[in-house]
Chains A and B, each alone.
Chain A
Amino acid sequence: AQKVTQAQTEISVVEKEDVTLDCVYETRDTTYYLFWYKQPPSGELVFLIRRNSFDEQNEISGRYSWNFQKSTSSFNFTITASQVVDSAVYFCALSDLTGFQKLVFGTGTRLLVSP
């Protein structure tokens, strides 16, 4: 069975601090996809990144970066120079590649960025 663990329930930082959100996953599949979503107070999920299991290259997109390590089954997300607008709940998710992909979500990490 697939499982995603986000051990950090809530993180509070001050603006401009860097913050890393942890994600550890479990799957028996050799091919799978990992995702990060942002959920602001409005509730609508905002897609941040998708990474397939064959690509372990780290990725950077502006202030966001992701570290995928298959050896430790982790897919961590770092926000550099955090801003108040980054305050949201962040979900890590996992899907397989069989049929149409339903997602298994982690429990989410609530990030509070104070000015």
Chain B
Amino acid sequence: GAVVSQHPSWVICKSGTSVKIECRSLDFQATTMFWYRQFPKQSLMLMATSNEGSKATYEQGVEKDKFLINHASLTLSTLTVTSAHPEDSSFYICSAPSVARPSYEQYFGPGTRLTVT
């Protein structure tokens, strides 16, 4: 079946630094990918829609300049948390629908746990 990977699976960084999270579709092309954030014991909230070759679409309340998204190829989207602060500590999950499948087929990555100290 289709697989979406994320790297790193967990990361600890100091406040004020930036961290990049990669989301890859391993066996299919994804013109669109989604980035979700999940705070401890809470639900998944959509942050942004990543579009290959164009700007990402951010959900209301998500800071574009803080969460930089780049979808440079059909298999890779990156989320960069800039000037991270402890409140950015969260579980970040990406997902991708497969263009080769019916549009409701969506695959989730294993998530990246970010801790900002």
Contact = CB atoms under 8 A, between A and B. Distances in A.
Interface of A: 33, 37, 42-45, 47, 50, 52, 91, 95, 97, 99-108, 110
A37 B113 CA distance: 19
Interface of B: 31-32, 34, 41-46, 49, 91, 93, 95, 97, 103-104, 106, 108, 110-111, 113
Contacts of B91: 43
- Specify which of A44, A50, A104 lies most central, judged by the most chain B CB atoms within 10 Å of its CB: A44
A102 B31 CA distance: 13
A33 B104 contact: yes
Given A102-B46, A105-B44, A106-B43, A45 B104 contact: no
Given A103-B46, A107-B43, A108-B43, A44 B111 contact: yes
Contacts of A33: 104
A10 to B, nearest CB: 10
> Dominant SS at the B interface?
strand
> Dominant SS at the A interface?
loop
A47 B105 CA distance: 10
Contacts of A91: 43-44
Given A47-B108, A91-B44, A108-B43, 7 more contacts: A43-B110, A43-B111, A45-B93, A45-B108, A100-B103, A103-B106, A105-B45
A101 B111 contact: no
18 contacts: A43-B111, A43-B113, A45-B93, A45-B108, A47-B108, A52-B104, A91-B43, A91-B44, A97-B104, A100-B31, A100-B32, A101-B97, A101-B104, A101-B106, A102-B46, A103-B106, A104-B46, A105-B43
